[in-house]
Amino acid sequence: MKSLRKIYVGLIMAFLYAPIVLLILYSFNDSKSRANWGGFTFKWYLELLHDQTILSALGVTLSIAALAAVISTVLGTFGAIVLFQMKKAPRQVLLSTINLPMLNSEVVTGVSLMLLYSMTHLQLGYLTLLLSHVAFCVPYVVLSVMPKLRQLDPNLAEAAQDLGATPLQGFFKVILPDIMPGVLSGFLMALTMSLDDFVVSFFTTGSGVNNLSITIYTMAKKGISPKINALSSIIFAVVFVLMLGLNLKDIRKPGQEGKLDKVKIPY
């Protein structure tokens, strides 16, 4: 039974990671055709550094993702705190409204935002793209922060004020540290959703402002350049190293704690 489980998990992992392995392999293929192996080369990585179209799209993608994640994290965190302090009935109504971008199809969200910008005479471009990403990232932050708020002691803020802290000091020194795991989870979720988005970006961006997903979609009509394979391989390597470092850090903590417990502190 255990062997069957291992085989099943192995097949799932192979199904998920085989395309990524092939993508990395083809990024070193000297031939543009994926049907032929023309030899091992680094030329696509070198050409990637001189492709202004891809580099510009990468810059837009990273800047939009970073700004949208920060703004949506701030708005979502304070929004979750306000919702948590409301009565149950209005809170449920507002939560249902906030969750609409998650429940709606991305096409509906993208077209709706495009019509909104047209009605307000807001020119499509970098600003509308940023606002759109913030709009659909905020609900993910709210959903990440709300469970942490429910775990808090309801008298914690009042206790901090009784000890002499101002409401602002009580929030930053008492409340925020306790809900920080939810805030960080919301930030990472918002960052991931922004980097991954295509449909909403396609409807809400203007000419001359394209992120990576739109650039790749445009290239797909003529054939994907191997330079995209090289860029994807670099992104995968960066994410892999970051995740590996975080996991190694978590693995070392229990061992370090055990060592600290054995240290005798002289008095």
At residue 258, the pLDDT reads 45
Taking residues 161-186, report their average pLDDT.
84
Helices (H), the chain: 2-26, 43-48, 52-85, 88-98, 100-103, 106-119, 126-150, 156-162, 167-170, 176-196, 199-204, 212-220, 226-262
At residue 265, the pLDDT reads 36
Taking residues 70-77, report their average pLDDT.
94
At residue 250, the pLDDT reads 61
Average of per-residue pLDDT values in the chain? 85
At residue 104, the pLDDT reads 83
Taking residues 143-171, report their average pLDDT.
81
Stretch among 48-52, 186-190, 263-267 having the lowest mean pLDDT: 263-267
- Residue-wise pLDDT for 11-67, tens only, equals 999 998 898 898 899 889 888 777 788 788 888 999 998 889 899 999 999 999 999
- Residue-wise pLDDT for 86-137, tens only, equals 888 888 888 888 888 888 888 999 999 999 999 999 999 999 999 999 999 9
Q: How far is CA 125 from CA 20, 128, 134, 158, 173, in A?
A: 32, 6, 14, 45, 39
Q: How far is CA 193 from CA 14, 27, 134, 135, in A?
A: 25, 25, 10, 11
User: What are the structural domains, with CATH classification, of the chain?
Assistant: 59-224 (1.10.3720.10)
At residue 261, the pLDDT reads 43
At residue 249, the pLDDT reads 66
Other residues' Cβ atoms within 10 Å of the Cβ of residue 242: 10
At residue 252, the pLDDT reads 63
pLDDT band at 260 (very low <50, low <70, confident <90, very high): very low
Is the pLDDT confidence value at 77 over 90?
A: yes
